[in-house]
Chain A
Amino acid sequence: MSVTHWQKTPPEQDPGASALSRPGLASADEIAVSLTDVSKVYGRGNSALLALDKVSLTAGRGEFVCLIGASGCGKSTLLSLVAGLDEPTAGTIATPGGRVTLMFQEPALFPWLTASRNVELALRARGVPRSQRADRVAELLETVHLGGFGDKRPHELSGGMRQRVALARALAQDADVLLMDEPFGALDAMTRDLLHDELERICSGRTLTVLFVTHNVREAVRLGDRVIVLSSRPGRVIEEYQVPRRGPRRIDSVEVAELASQITDRLREEMSRHDS
């Protein structure tokens, strides 16, 4: 079901059309996100910093892709580019998959609004009529298991619950592509485990393409259909792992541990190359 190969094709003016003409794919429909030779330079002159160096990757519709790498590999930069919050210095980014939304490590909820209002605002920004909003908000909060907490303000909720509200808000944007920037990085391991299960459940109920950035190898293997390993300074794609999918996994299962240690070794190798 997933598109396993990423290819380096020269940047083109119309990436949507190029996806159509690619021989390996049945139709453009299958690709939700594609990056072609994307580079990003911050600053200029002597202080210029190459954050991303010719990164090419694709995510198929409905695929869960994890991006992993040590700090400084430009993971967050990459998501900002895909979300359209920033412009690449070179290369092209196409999101034929449709609407894109981004979730951060911090919940980034509006502290003056209740949980319900935070979710509602995303609906309002999308132009959902007032009469439908209340029902949609209730439904979304149920989805993230916060049915009774709509009236609470962010500071009255725990870290995990805030991140659930942020997830509900992201879902409210009815995006086809969900970009997640270490969304569970600030949570304790137990809460994170539970949210993994929930994210999996939520994704299985809809065709949602996810690009999930993390520096936790087990998390990546636990969640992803595919794990892409990035090098640091500059960020480059160095390796890609297809995760064998056999129903729901647990973070402590043997398959996860095996693949995780394989990826960890690869990352170590990459890091020691940097240190020397």
Chain B
Amino acid sequence: MTARTQPARPQPSAIEGLDRLELGSLPVGSDSGRRLRKAWTAVWPKLLAIALILVIWQIVHLTGWKSYVLKGPGAVLSDLWHQMQHGLLWQAIGITLRRAVMGYALALVIGSIVGVLVARIPLLRAGVGSIITGLQTMPSIVWFPVGIVLFGLSTATILFVMVLGAAPSIANGLMTGVDYTPPLLLRAGQTMGLRGFALYRYLILPASLPAYVAGMKQGWAFAWRSLMAGELLVLILGQPSLGVLLNNNQNLQDFAGVTSIMIVILVIGILVDMVFNKIDAFIRRRRGLLNPGTAG
């Protein structure tokens, strides 16, 4: 058997038996070259996919199908580049993202509080548990009429709909996590003397974190959709959001402009999703739940 570098062990005599063999499989350490290669293997399939999409898009454009609406990638990308030179796009992105953060933060707070309360209190759970699941499947856009009556054509209406779209998923994720806390760990916590608040703080909440994050991720998807729907329905004067730009470009029959804004919306969605995936992978790696093949 070849010698392997192993972590420093102050009392090597203590770790014997088959323990010693098992330890050999511990990760040894990483050098920057390998990290770079790893990053490349994660990136190149994505670049390839983008290139493929551009090629197909160009081919469709060349066939001339609905050419009035469907602009080619060249026209759209140059329009996008052009818009990026102007403050308006960035102002719109700023306003939209501010709403996204506000609405999502609100949904996070409300969803978490509701989730903990429902998980904690059996009576609430019996009454409200299935309603929350039902709300989750309801398209949040149906809340707009109510929102407009309550708050008028304002940012509050958009936030209202975002919260109703996202909070049920977040609450549901947390409730699922609490339910799936391994019974063995609960028994261990009980014998340790963890009770009441401490039991939640040190055992149940950390144990439910993976399901909670999954719920947060799903909640973000709902919040982002609700926000886009809201910005198309609730146009507020003097607040150029991405929805407003989309609407304006449509009214001006500028379909290259419409497509550029759609690309911006898609890219923001992808970037936020990547952040959630990173958080998820981090949590899973710390708990030894990450398969080597599913990383990235």
Q: Which residues of A contact B (CB under 8 A)?
A: 83, 85, 100-102, 104, 106, 108-113, 121-122, 124-126, 145-148, 153-156, 158-161, 169, 173, 188, 190-194
| Minimal beta-carbon separation of A51 from chain B (angstroms) | 17
Contact of A158 among B18, B191, B286 (CB under 8 A): B18
28 sample A-B contacts, Cβ–Cβ < 8 Å, listed by A number: A85-B190, A85-B191, A106-B184, A108-B184, A108-B185, A108-B187, A110-B202, A110-B206, A111-B286, A111-B287, A111-B288, A112-B206, A121-B202, A125-B192, A145-B11, A145-B14, A146-B14, A148-B8, A148-B9, A153-B287, A155-B289, A156-B288, A158-B23, A160-B18, A169-B192, A190-B16, A190-B18, A194-B16
| Minimal beta-carbon separation of B24 from chain A (angstroms) | 10
- Residues of A contacting B192 with CB < 8 Å? 101, 121-122, 125, 169, 173
Known interface pairs A100-B191, A193-B17; 11 further A-B residue pairs with C-beta atoms within 8 A, sorted by A's residue number? A85-B190, A110-B206, A112-B287, A125-B198, A126-B193, A147-B11, A153-B288, A155-B287, A155-B289, A158-B19, A194-B16
B131, CB-defined interface residue at 8 Å: no
**A108-B187, A111-B288, A112-B287 are known contacts. Are A148 and B16 too (CB-CB below 8 A)?**
no
- Residues of B contacting A146 with CB < 8 Å? 14
- Residues of A contacting B286 with CB < 8 Å? 111-112, 153
B270, CB-defined interface residue at 8 Å: no
B26, CB-defined interface residue at 8 Å: yes
Closest to A104 in B: B184
- Residues of A contacting B16 with CB < 8 Å? 190-191, 194
Instruction: Give the interface SS of chain B, mostly helix, strand, loop or mixed.
Output: helix
Could you tell me the distance between the alpha carbons of A251 and B285 in the complex, rounded to whole angstroms? Answer: 39
- Residues of A contacting B19 with CB < 8 Å? 158-161, 191
Q: Which residues of B contact A (CB under 8 A)?
A: 7-11, 14-19, 22-23, 26, 184-185, 187-188, 190-194, 198, 202-203, 206-207, 209, 283, 286-289
**A121-B202, A153-B288, A155-B288 are known contacts. Are A102 and B23 too (CB-CB below 8 A)?**
no
Interface contact A148-B191, CB-CB below 8 Å: no
| Minimal beta-carbon separation of A174 from chain B (angstroms) | 11
Could you tell me the distance between the alpha carbons of A121 and B188 in the complex, rounded to whole angstroms? Answer: 11
- Residues of B contacting A191 with CB < 8 Å? 16-19
Could you tell me the distance between the alpha carbons of A85 and B188 in the complex, rounded to whole angstroms? Answer: 10
- Residues of A contacting B15 with CB < 8 Å? 145, 161
Could you tell me the distance between the alpha carbons of A147 and B190 in the complex, rounded to whole angstroms? Answer: 27
- Residues of A contacting B202 with CB < 8 Å? 110, 121, 124-125
Closest to A160 in B: B19
Could you tell me the distance between the alpha carbons of A109 and B206 in the complex, rounded to whole angstroms? Answer: 13
- Residues of B contacting A188 with CB < 8 Å? 17-18
Interface centre among B14, B206, B287 (most CB of A within 10 A): B14
